Amino acid sequence: MPEQIFIFTAGNVEAKKHLEETIKKRINFEMIKEFFDQNEQETLERINKEHGLYAWGAIPGKNNEKLWKELKQGDYVFCVYKNTYHYFAKVLQKFRNKECAKALWGIDNNGQTWELMYFLSKPEKIEIPVPKLSNYLNIGYMGFTKISQDKINKIKKEYGNLSNFINDVIFVKGGNKNKLDRKDMDRKDMDRAIERVISFIENKGFIYEPWQICQYITAVRTKPFVILAGITGTGKSKLPALVAEATKGESRLIPVRPDWTDSSDVLGYFDLQGNFQPGSVMQIAREAMNDQRRFWTCIIDEMNLARVEHYFAEILSRIEDRYGDQISGYKSKPLLSCSFKEKNVEWENIILPPNLCIVGTVNMDESAHGFSRKVLDRAFTIELSEVYLDVIQQTQIREEVKEEQEWTVENWYPRAIRLSELKNLNEEEKEEINRAIEALKNINELLIPAQLQIGYRTRDEVVLFLIHASEIKNLFKDRKGDDVDPLDLVLQMKILPRIVGGTSAIRRVVLGLLGWAIAGKSYSTDEDARPIIDDWEKERRPMAIKDAKYPRFAARLCLMWERLMAEGYTSYWL
């Protein structure tokens, strides 16, 4: 059945006591697990791990029994007292359990207990007068209540689904500071927050350049699809997990199998009985939708062991059709557009929510597949190949970084997903936009021989990356403290992975880009490039050419040119 909205009231003395014990506070799983069988314990243990245990219950009676039977996983629940909505949560599971209810809440004057129990996601504190939502919900409540289907239909007609209603009305228009009634981090706050992330990762004993962490965070903020490439053992799958941990987000890792040829393993499939069996990404998307106060990272490990454009086709399309705004974030349409049986209908409206990003890790060796331009155009590709074997990062806990820095979900939201949507630009940001567009125009001219020109999507993503990077520009530094230009990084991410082959056209493209990256003027002959390549080889092939206009972009082009000369074929990938 479709999602519903239920109301419970907490106006009397007993209810207020219950509110303090199992809504405002987390229930101790060890205290109640003896009242459940093995399967139920496993369910509650999973809920406790992912959400914490919070619960409410109703005393048996004709009305309560009827409503409790209709209540199901995924329904929305509001707590009302003093004619105000005070808490909001989603139903995660329900059990009829008299002994557990007695242990939690005791019994009433009639010897009854609140055995019609339901466990909830962590309740969100809200403060909305009941009359303010009377156009959609009821004008008043007495006891356990279900919102009528007519009202639910009205909400869906105006907002599409209940999730949109909750986000737009309850949190945005309702003015609740837990969601959006806050000021965005100013530049100092953002700098300080990311410095804490960098320190947190360092104190875990992992080695990354400060600019690499900033590059990853900025890429995720700009678009929720990032590919991490590089040699084995450089921490590709660990970086997104560490950033999630440092910001009190959540991460899940999905290992790819070589036999994935369609989306059934990631989105799901219908079995022979017509029942839907959800895939791994679909399940994570649902978890993220049910936990909108945290930012979720889905890590697709060894992403190119199978062909990405085959098993990820629907997700790639949904990433591109996101809609929304800076305030409530950008979300996709439903991941699957097919009919479901009534008992599987909850999967019908699963989307890529604003609080979810997808990060793929790749190794480019003989066991892996290459990437099509369709995939590369839709992702930010970050390479982690700089290794410092002489650096041993000792794990240590310093007082100022031992606690994770909690970011609100909104701190991950982009300012826009298209250049035309950007508003309130300051002069510095306008200059960055002009700098990026001028560079891209020059690059496009040099890509013409191989017909590899970029389009509006890439232009917008390059510009938006720069805008987001400008908020933390002071932290784009290497281990020595030298500045790293975000434009240099984003050009390498978005332009060079497109260049693959050994034709004369590819040769002209690489040669032209190399000259432009070094001094702003394209090379036309091998002799033009020879002095730069010789110096680069003498310096033992550094990852950045110090005096170049775009140091890292130029260094990677040197590597690509060297490979083209030696093997007659080149690509961005190591």
Instruction: List the one residue out of 108, 77, 86, 100 whose CA is nearest residue 27.
Output: 100
Instruction: List the one residue out of 203, 284, 287, 201 whose CA is nearest residue 245.
Output: 201
The separation between the first and the last C-alpha atoms of the chain, rounded to the nearest angstrom, is 50
Higher per-residue pLDDT: 58 or 346: 58
What is the Cα 143 distance to its own chain's centre?
Answer: 38
**Between β-strands 76-81 and 5-9, what pairing exists: parallel, antiparallel or unpaired?**
parallel
User: Quick check: helix, strand or coil at residue 92?
Assistant: strand
Percent residues over pLDDT 90 in the chain: 70
Cα–Cα–Cα angle for 404, 409, 415, rounded to 5 degrees: 125
State both tokens at 308. Answer: 């990405």
Cβ–Cβ < 8 Å for 151, 8: no
- C-alpha distances out from residue 532 to 386, 488, 539, 564, Å: 21, 18, 11, 15
Q: What is the pLDDT of residues 468-493, one digit of tens each?
A: 999 999 999 998 899 999 999 999 99
DSSP character for 298?
A: E
The whole-model pTM stands at 0.72
Question: What integer pLDDT is reported at residue 187 of this predicted model?
Answer: 58
Q: What is the pLDDT of residues 530-549, one digit of tens each?
A: 999 999 999 999 999 999 99
279-283, 291-295, 443-447: the lowest-pLDDT one? 291-295
State both tokens at 511. Answer: 């040669």
Domain ranges of the chain: 5-173, 187-414, 422-574
State both tokens at 351. Answer: 């989307």
Question: What integer pLDDT is reported at residue 177 of this predicted model?
Answer: 44
Compute how many other C-beta atoms are within 10 angstroms of the C-beta atom of residue 564.
Answer: 19
Give the list of residues 6+ apart from residue 217 with CB closer than 8 angstroms, or none.
194, 197, 243, 472
CA dist 134 and 131 (Å) reads 5
Question: What integer pLDDT is reported at residue 77 of this predicted model?
Answer: 96
Q: What is the pLDDT of residues 83-111, one digit of tens each?
A: 999 999 999 999 999 999 999 999 999 99
Question: What integer pLDDT is reported at residue 171 of this predicted model?
Answer: 59
**Structurally, what CATH architecture does the domain formed by 187-414 represent?**
3-Layer(aba) Sandwich (3.40)
State both tokens at 492. Answer: 């390498």
CA dist 362 and 360 (Å) reads 7
State both tokens at 129. Answer: 């007068």
The answer, yes or no, to whether residue 184 has pLDDT greater than 90, is: no
**5-173 in CATH: which number?**
3.10.590
CA dist 504 and 513 (Å) reads 14
Question: What integer pLDDT is reported at residue 394 of this predicted model?
Answer: 53
